[in-house]
Amino acid sequence: MGEAWEVCIRALEQAGTPPGHAATQTNLLLEAELRGRASHGLLRLPRIIERIHNGVADPKTRGNAVWRSPSFLDMDGERGLGPVIALAALDQVRERARETGIAVAAVSNNNHIGMLALYAEQVAREGQILLALSTSEALVHPWGGRRALIGTNPIAIGVPAEGEPFVLDMATSQVAMGKIHDYANHGRALEPGWALDGAGNPTTDAVAAKAGALAPFGQAKGYALGLAFELLVTSLTSSALGTAVKGTLDSSAVCNKGDVFIVIEAGSGAVASRIADYLDDIRACPALLPQRPVAVPGDRARAERRQRLDTGIELADEVWHRILDLAQCAA
Amino acid sequence: MGEAWEVCIRALEQAGTPPGHAATQTNLLLEAELRGRASHGLLRLPRIIERIHNGVADPKTRGNAVWRSPSFLDMDGERGLGPVIALAALDQVRERARETGIAVAAVSNNNHIGMLALYAEQVAREGQILLALSTSEALVHPWGGRRALIGTNPIAIGVPAEGEPFVLDMATSQVAMGKIHDYANHGRALEPGWALDGAGNPTTDAVAAKAGALAPFGQAKGYALGLAFELLVTSLTSSALGTAVKGTLDSSAVCNKGDVFIVIEAGSGAVASRIADYLDDIRACPALLPQRPVAVPGDRARAERRQRLDTGIELADEVWHRILDLAQCAA
């Protein structure tokens, strides 16, 4: 962990990133690795650095934030590093929400902000609710449709609870495109209902699905929610919509998706205690399969984090060597 | 329609409801009928009136609203009629959001607020985004669990778009308990995955499912969202949680669920126009089944409303006679 930290920081600094910004970006990637979310982990670092070299990510800026109205922050990310801009916006809306009860940041012109869970966890730990939405390239088909027209539009919700906060972080696709690629690499068949092929027909062939579309989670209702999130973000940030969204999966396009953070002052300690008790009731619910106890969102990520803090993280050799190269170290 | 309107108003007035409040409540029920949402329509009126007679609904109050902070409204519903209190809170937060950019109402001690779509549509028509959440009796099992511990917790999202606004309104259960009752009444088998029986085992027997639990929509992800909504509402309104929630399905318990309305100033006309174009692109997406074109949330409800404005609404005789009795008219 310590070695990975230093190498990532060095790689980002080699690309012109100030030390504080390099630490923010590296922390987010490593926290994803610790939680077992490799798709949002160090494998993203080479693309981030390529984007800096290609002029579509500016590692130095903290963005340009303007209060559109007393509780509404417009943040022009100025092509900055995703988490650097996101945290700069969050800091301001969190402080404002302490006074006004609720505040929102509409973030445009920002790069990929990574795993949303970390933002939700930090905010909820300090007694505020976070509702975080982000749009993304169109990979998801509308329910009953054959083409990818909607982003995987993740949502995170953090709610304070006594002890550990409640943290939900999920994409609105049935599975991640990273999982399709992983299945393709290992020659595994997809489960029915996960994806369509390039012609818009249902497929279990992972290679065919790479050129197709992901199913929305939750059929018609999940489609409706993912679409609603895309519209909400666009209405607030003026971001691109659908197939016009670029820049989170490539190294050369300006990133034109949007991010929205809504921060709300949460209830008192008594409510946080009742919420913790209720979550324990849910964990204690008799399970359909005895070997699979009922889980509360965030439980598994916390367990994985605890374990990896002991055992360390495992990285694919290819990813690690790429990052070492970027840091200009000998392998 | 005109006759139904007058009879409902008279039934509510007979129970001591002031004319303005009777009109608000009746309008919501009839708008649900017009949209083909009979479960939120006139069949609910007898219970509302029973609740007034039983002292757990006060038809006269408009609630007691206090600004906890500049953009955070605490509304004590004082056991008022659901839509009367909801609209009183919404009026205040909508006006505040015009100044501050975003505002939230946390509504407690209020009766069932009915079909959320109507609130979302009204707000979105006037250039604001509405995010509406409401909790309810625990009818839904956690994913992988055997007991009903979570509400059907509906969400509505309204986003302004040129022409007709985007309106999503959905419960977070796979199907409504009303649908289970309907299947039981008609001796129809449920689809696998909809419900558990009273012992917590999967069932397709609708009668057995009435004593059991509904599945969350969207498996693990839908469960996570429904749970997150329950926590968010409780954190803001101090409402009851899980199996402690009462008063939306019975006639005698004080209603202790919560409602949350978040209103945000939406983007400019240019964004509303881009959103409308995007929704048209989605409607034009090639369909998996040619006979089932891709739909945008709200489209079907609008079409049903247009049709019923011509043809009128159809009510079960039993419901209509019950309401006539309550209005003390001859059948």
Share of chain A above pLDDT 70, in %: 99
Is the confidence at residue A152, as pLDDT, over 70? yes
Query: Which conformational region is residue B254 in: left (phi greater than 0), alpha (psi within -120 to 50 degrees), or beta?
Result: beta
Q: How far apart are CA B104 and CA B127, in angstroms?
A: 16
Q: Where are the beta strands (DSSP E) in A135-177?
A: 138-140, 150-151, 155-159, 166-170
**B301: confidence class by pLDDT, cuts 50, 70, 90:** very high
Chain B residues near residue A232 by CB distance under 8 angstroms? 129, 131, 157, 159
Average confidence (pLDDT) over A90-116: 98
**What's the average model confidence in pLDDT over A98-123?**
98
Average pLDDT over chain A, rounded to whole? Answer: 96
Name the nearest CA neighbour of A300 among A5, A3, A34: A34
pLDDT band at residue A331 using 50, 70 and 90 as cut-offs:
very low
d(CA B133, CA B136): 10
- Mean of the pLDDT values across residues B44-50? 96
How do the residues of chain B divide into helix, strand and coil, expressed in percent and rounded to 5? 45, 20, 35
pLDDT over 70 (residue B288): yes
Model confidence at A125: pLDDT above 50: yes
In which band, very low, low, confident or very high, does the pLDDT at B39 lie, cut at 50, 70 and 90? confident
Across B86-97, average pLDDT? 98
Distances, alpha carbon A234 to alpha carbons A151, B66, B105, B266, B276, in Å: 12, 32, 24, 9, 12
pLDDT, tens digit, 9 for 90 and up, residues A18-56? 999 999 999 999 999 999 998 899 999 999 999 999 999
Inform me whether the pLDDT recorded for B268 exceeds 90. no
Query: Could you give the domains of chain A?
Result: 1-173+216-269+313-328 (3.30.1370.60), 174-214 (3.30.60.50)
Query: Average pLDDT over chain B, rounded to whole?
Result: 96
Q: Does residue A224 sit at the B interface (CB-CB below 8 Å)? A: yes
Residue in B3, B9, B10 with CA at minimum distance from that of residue B328: B10
Distance from CA of A206 to the nearest CA of B (A): 19
Per-residue pLDDT averaged across B84-102, rounded? 98
CA nearest to A227, candidates B324, B298, B125, B210: B298
Of B157, B227, B296, the CB nearest to A232: B157
**pLDDT (0 to 100) of residue B178:** 85
Decide if pLDDT at A118 tops 60. yes
A16 vs B: CB within 8 A: no
This complex has an ipTM of: 0.97
pLDDT number for residue A304: 96
Residue B331's pLDDT is what? 46
Pairing state of beta strands A155-159 and A128-134?
antiparallel
Q: State the pLDDT confidence band at B226, using cuts at 50, 70 and 90.
A: very high
B contacts of A281 (beta carbons < 8 Å): 149, 242
- Asked if the model's pLDDT at residue A232 lies above 60, the reply is yes
Spell out where B184-247 has E strands.
195-196, 202-203, 213-214
Q: What is the pLDDT of residues A269-286, one digit of tens each?
A: 899 999 999 999 999 999
- pLDDT at A243 > cutoff 80: yes
Give the tens place of pLDDT for each residue, A174-210. Answer: 998 888 988 998 999 999 999 999 999 999 999 999 9
Phi-psi sector, B193: left (phi>0), alpha (psi -120 to 50), beta: left
Q: Is A150 on the interface with B (CB under 8 A)?
A: yes
Q: For chain B, what percent of residues have pLDDT higher than 70?
A: 99
In B24-63, the residues whose Cβ lies within 8 Å of chain A are none
Does the pLDDT at position A315 exceed 80? yes
What is the percent of chain A where pLDDT is above 90?
A: 93
Taking contacts as CB-CB distances below 8 angstroms, the residues of chain A near B156 are none
Q: What tens digit of pLDDT does each residue of B115-133 get?
A: 999 999 999 999 999 999 9
For residue B170, the chain A residues in CB contact (below 8 A) are: 221, 224-225
Supply the pLDDT for residue B1.
74
| Cα–Cα distance for residue pair A305/B229, rounded to 1 Å | 25
A65 in contact with B at a CB cutoff of 8 Å?
no
Q: For the full predicted model, state whether its pTM sits above 0.90.
A: yes
Q: How confident is the model at residue B228 (pLDDT cuts 50, 70, 90)?
A: very high
* pLDDT band at residue A63 under the 50/70/90 scheme: very high
